[in-house]
Each structure stands twice: as structure tokens, then as C-alpha cells.
Amino acid sequence: MDKAPEAFRTISEVADEIDVPQHVLRFWESRFAQIRPMKRGGGRRFYRPEDVDLLRGVRHLLYGEGYTIRGVQRILREQGIGFVQDVWRVGAESPPPPSDEDRADDDGDPSPLAFPVPREHSDQARAAARREPSFAPADAGRQPRAATLSGEQRRQLRTALDDITACRGLLEAALADGGSANGGS
């Protein structure tokens, strides 16, 4: 059963709708005071349509435009909630280009990125692909060079990582299906 457009949504519905994990929505709530879903008994969150639009705007600025959390906070402060609620829509006013500070990942915040997986993947593959990559830097003593990359290079790397993460999920799902088809071996 589809809900009416003005109906409230649960965190799981919003997470599926905007294609980010629930923990990312909770994290954004801790970083953006403007994200205030209604909370009912037991702490259950219910998002109004305007809350969902704000989350779509935050997602667009972080993932699509390459802003940091600090950069999105600045846009919310300077441009207002209405701007961020509409920025993701086709034909909407574009955000100002991110400054070097808005692009850099040196603000000490944990990464807000939980790379989205295309909808055509199975639930099992999507769940596997949403896990954070587990790899150590080749030289832990050396500072990462990501801060010196251009915004376009960072977007290209994010797109490549999206693809790799989705492939990993598909491989894990295929291996799990193959193991059960071969009698668990």
C-alpha cells in the first residue's frame, strides 16, 4: 500500500526512499539542528514531507555537490532551510560552489558518506554493499592527499567507489547464493 504524499514516514521508509542507511539519518540529525523529526513513544521517528525534502537536500549537497557537513551547515545558515529543501529538485537554484573549507575533509567529523547502492540490487546485496569498506592506508604515517584533489576528482572517486561497493555487494550475494545451492560448501 502506497502512502499519500502528505503522510508521515518512518526512518526505514525515508532511508529506503532517499537511499541512505538509517544510521546516516540519525547522524545527520546530530549534526543539523534543522532536522527534527517527530518522536513518538519509544523514540520512534516520524518524518513529515518537509523533513524528507530537507534530507534529500542534505544528501544532494553532501553526495552530489561534494560539500562537507560544515559546508552544508553554512548553506543552511546563509541560504535557509527552504533553499536546501528545494536544491535537489530539477531546475532549482544551484548552490554556490564549495569553498576549499567546504570541500576539505579535515573538520574532524566522521564521514557522513554511506555510499548509496542502485535500487536494482537485491536487498541482500544492498545490505552488504552499505557496509563501510574495511581497508587500511598503505602508509599510515603519511597524510592522505584527498584534501588536494579537485571537487571533480573527488566526485569521480566517489562514483568509482559507489561502483566498487555495489560490485562487492553483488559478489557477496552471489557467493552466499552459490554456497546454499551447493549444499553449503
Q: What is the DSSP letter of 9?
A: E
Is residue 74 a contact partner of residue 102, using CB atoms and an 8 Å limit? yes
CATH topology of domain 1-106: Multidrug-efflux Transporter Regulator; Chain: A; Domain 2 (1.10.1660)
Residues 127/173, Cβ–Cβ less than 8 Å: no
Q: What is the pLDDT of residues 19-78, one digit of tens each?
A: 999 999 999 999 999 999 999 888 899 999 999 999 999 999 998 888 999 999 999 999
Continuous segment of H or E residues that includes residue 82: helix 81-86
Q: Does the global pTM surpass 0.85?
A: no
**Domain ranges for the chain:** 1-106, 115-185
Q: pLDDT by residue (tens digit) across 123-142? A: 444 444 444 444 444 444 44
Rounded distance, CA 63 to CA 66, Å?
Answer: 6
Beta-sheet pairing, 38-39 with 45-47? antiparallel
When pLDDT is averaged across residues 85-105 and rounded to a whole number, the result is 80
Percent of the chain as helix, strand, coil, to the nearest 5:
55, 5, 45
Q: Are 31 and 109 in contact (CB under 8 A)?
A: yes
- Summarize the confidence of residues 1-10 as an average pLDDT: 80
